Structure 1
Amino acid sequence: MKIAVIGAGSVGATLGGGWVDAGYDVIFGVREPESEKYQALPAPRATPAEAAAQADVILLATPWPATEAAIGSLGPLSGKLVLDATNPLKPQLAGLTHGHETSGGELVAQWAAGARVVKIFNTTGFDNMANPHYPDGAATMLYCGDDSEAKAVAHALAQALGFEPQDAGPLTQARLLEPFALLWISLAYQQGLGRDFAFRLVRR
C-alpha cells in the first residue's frame, strides 16, 4: 500500500512520518518538491498530482482554504481512498465555516468526485498523532465514511500509529466530528489545557 500525503505541515509530516516508521510506503505531494524547506520530510517528494497518481491512499492534510484547489490539482480520483484530515476552520480559530447542514468532509467528497472519502485524523493535534499513548490507554481516533472497505483501511492506518480507532458512522457524521475537533482546539488554546491531552472512549 502506498500513501500520498498532500500537505507537509505539522499534521501531514507527523502522520507521514508515523507511517514510514510503521513500514508503509509514503510519498509527500508538495508544490515545490525540490525546495530545501522539504528536505527534512521522512519520505520522497513529488508534485501533488504525481504523488496521487501512484498512491493507493491519499491523505489530505491541507489548510482548509487551500483544500478545494489542492483536490483539483490531484487529477482523477475516482475509486481512490481519500483520508480527510482537514477542518473547515474560520480565521483565528473563531469557529467553523460549515456545520450541521453539511460538513467539510462532505464537501471534500463532492470535490473529489468518485473518491471513497473517510473523515479521520481531524479531532486532535499533531502531538497526539506523534504519540497517542497515555497512562490510561491510547487516545481514541474517531472516523466516518460511507465505504466499509475504505473505513477498514483507515482503521488499520490509525491503529498502526497507536490510536484506538472507532467508527462513528456514515460521512454525514463529519458534521459532528468537525465541531468535536473545535472542542479539542478550544480546550487546548482558549481554555489553556495545552496540547498534551486527548479524548478517550471508555467502556464499562
Structure 2
Amino acid sequence: MKIGILGTGGMAAALGGAWTTAGHDVLIGGRDPRKAKLTAESVGAAGHGSLDDAARHGDAVLLAVPATVAPQLAGGLAGRTVIDCTNAISPTGDGLMLDPGSGARQLAAAAPGAHVVKAFNLCHVSIWTLRPPMFENVPLTVPYCTDHPAAAAVIETLISSIGCVPAACGGLARAGYLEATAALAIGMWWSGGQPRAAFPSPAEV
C-alpha cells in the first residue's frame, strides 16, 4: 500500500519504519526537506519530499504532526484514508487534560470528503519500533474509530501488517473516548503508574 506520512518526528519515523518493514511504499513529507530526507533514510522509506508530495503519494495518509497543526494540513485529501495519531493534551495542575477544539472530529470537519481514522494514539512512540509489538506473548491491540467502511479496511490492513490486532471501536463520534483514554494512560505513565494493570482480562477475574 502507498502511505504518505506528513511529519518528520518520532511517530513518523516509528510508524514509517514499521510499515516499510512490512513492505509498504512509504514517503515521508515535511516542511524541512533535510529533515524529511534524514527521517526517510533512517527508516528505509521509499522516498521523501514536501508535505504536498506525501499527501499526493498516499492511498493512506498519516498525520504525524502536532494536534493543533493537523487540521491545517488536511485540505485536499478527499477520498483518502487519513490517519490521526495525534493527542491534543496539555499538562495542568489537575493532570493531563484534553485541549478543547482539537481531535479527530475537528480534523474531519477540516477535511471534507476525507475518510478520517483515529488510531495509533494510545502507545508511546517506542512501542511502534518493536518488531512486532508483543507483550507476554500477546500481540498488541490497536483500537481505532472511523465512519467509513473503506477506511476501516485500510486501517485493519495497516495494523495487521505490523503484527498487531485491530479493534474497531465505533465511528468518529467515539474517537473522543480514545483521546480521553490517552490523556488518562499517559498521565498514569508520567506519574509512575501502570495503566495496563487497571484492565485485567475477564478470564483472569
When normalised by structure 2's length, the TM-score is: 0.85
Report the CA distance between 1:45 and its aligned residue.
1.0
Structure 1 counterpart of 2:61: 58
Distance 1:166 1:203 in 2: 17
> What secondary structure sits across from 1:94 in the alignment?
strand
Q: Is the 8 A contact 1:83 1:119 kept in 2?
A: yes
Structure 2 counterpart of 1:134: 135
> What secondary structure sits across from 2:105 in the alignment?
helix
Structure 1 counterpart of 2:48: 45
Gaps of 5+ in 2: none
Q: Is the 8 A contact 2:8 2:64 kept in 1?
A: yes
Q: Is the 8 A contact 2:81 2:114 kept in 1?
A: yes
Structure 2 counterpart of 1:70: 73
Letter of the 1:60 partner, please give it: L
Structure 1 counterpart of 2:81: 81
Q: Is the 8 A contact 2:29 2:50 kept in 1?
A: yes
Change over 3 Å in CA distance of 1:127–1:78 after alignment to 2: same
Q: Is the 8 A contact 2:29 2:53 kept in 1?
A: yes
Structure 2 counterpart of 1:7: 7
Structure 1 residues 83-92 or 32-41, which shifts more?
32-41
Residue 104 (1) aligns with residue 103 (2): yes
Q: Is the 8 A contact 1:133 1:139 kept in 2?
A: yes
Report the CA distance between 1:71 and its aligned residue.
2.6
Aligned length: 196
Q: Deviation per CA, 1:185-204, whole angstroms, max 9, x where unpaired?
A: 1121123549xx69988465
Distance 1:21 1:202 in 2: 31
Structure 1 counterpart of 2:97: 95
Structure 2 counterpart of 1:34: 34
Q: Deviation per CA, 1:65-119, whole angstroms, max 9, x where unpaired?
A: 22223335xxx11111101111111257731113xxx760101101112100111
Report the CA distance between 1:7 and its aligned residue.
1.3
Distance 1:147 1:47 in 2: 27
Distance 2:11 2:29 in 1: 14
> What secondary structure sits across from 2:89 in the alignment?
coil
Gaps of 5+ in 1: none
Share of identical aligned residues, percent?
34
Distance 2:153 2:120 in 1: 14
Structure with the bigger percentage of strand: 2
Distance 1:34 1:62 in 2: 17
Report the CA distance between 1:63 and its aligned residue.
1.2
Q: Is the 8 A contact 1:140 1:199 kept in 2?
A: no
Report the CA distance between 1:37 and its aligned residue.
5.0
Distance 1:13 1:199 in 2: 30
When normalised by structure 1's length, the TM-score is: 0.86
